[in-house]
Homo-oligomer: A and B are copies of this chain.
Amino acid sequence: MIKKISIIGGDVRTIKLIEMLEKDKYEISTYGLEKNFTIPMNKCNTLQECVEGADIIIGPIPFSNEEDITTPFGNKKIKIQEFIEAAKGKIVVAGAIRQDIFEQAKEKQIEMIDIAKREEFAVLNAISTAEGAIQIAIKETSKNLHGNNILILGFGRVGKVLAKMLQGIGAKVACEARKNTDIAWIKAYGYEPIELVDLKENLHKYDIIINTIPYVVLEKEELQKVKKDALIIDLASNPGGVNREEVKEAGIKFVWALSLPGKVSPVTSAEFMKQTLDNIFKETK
């Protein structure tokens, strides 16, 4: 059973998370959060001191850059190697961990869990992403969402939640999908289904197009069909679903919006991390 938790690095979400974990009576030790003074916390002098006796270690999201752990509130850098050495034999939960780090960790008998890959965390984060997209859509257009035609490309987690919210605001929502089952779900939820083969001939209808597909769907040929005064929002990570050169060329308003949950609603993101950790804790019991 998890009793002592070591927290290393992290941003404002991590600080909110610590508050919640302390309410649940876990024993917390931290390192790499020295510059945070919003809440009192047990700050250790060394990494070793921090991980000593910990049942689980919680690292940042994203875990690291090329060399160092993410520590915006820390007053010294923590090398990836240093972290791995200290975490030897333990369970580590962090987010967006590079594949090679996973492998290094394995060699040191570290059980590394990427929270960002947990399905339930991804579903919950889709809520925050959808709200961020709605804020952008209201801000960047001179029309209401209500009564307007909005196309969502892709019917995965973000597509599903966003479609529901936009319909809830009163937009006329169409969703593009490839699989027959997704098309059936789109009908069941009351959106207009657009099959991939019919995409091009339908593009001219939409005032706002929001992409959630992680590869380029809107090339020159497609962009030529889009209304000149439409807004395209891309929520997919690199390379995204829209040809950047061509969208600029076409003169269509374009917003590439990444990592919305941490920006739009860090407190809720921390709650979602907490809920996911609760599940992880139960599983590692």
**A interface, CB within 8 angstroms of B:** 118-121, 123-124, 126-128, 130-132, 134-135, 138-139, 141-147, 160-161, 164-165, 167-170, 180-181, 183-185, 187-190, 264-268, 275-276, 279
State A122–B189 Cα separation when bound (angstroms): 14
Closest B residue to A164 by CB, please name it. Answer: B189
Closest residue of B by beta carbon distance from A275: B184
Asked, given contacts A134-B134, A164-B189, A189-B164, whether A144 binds B127 with beta carbons under 8 Å apart, the answer is: yes
Nearest opposing residue in chain B for A278, CB measure: B180
Nearest CB in chain B: distance from A158 CB, A: 11
4 further interface pairs, Cβ-Cβ under 8 Å (given A119-B180, A144-B268, A167-B168)? A147-B190, A160-B188, A164-B189, A180-B279
Q: A121: nearest residue on chain B (CB-CB)? A: B184
Q: Are B141 and A138 in contact (CB under 8 A)?
A: no
What DSSP secondary structure best describes chain A's contact surface? helix
CA distance A168 to B134 in the complex (A): 12
B265 in contact with A147 (CB, 8 Å):
no
Verify A120–B265 contact, CB threshold 8 A: no
Task: Specify which of B138, B143, B184, B267 is in contact with A124 (CB 8 Å cutoff).
Answer: B184
> Quick check: B146 and A127 within 8 Å, CB to CB?
yes
Which residues from B are CB-within-8-Å of A180? 118-120, 276, 279
Using Cβ atoms and an 8 Å threshold, which residues of chain B touch A135?
Answer: 134-135, 138-139
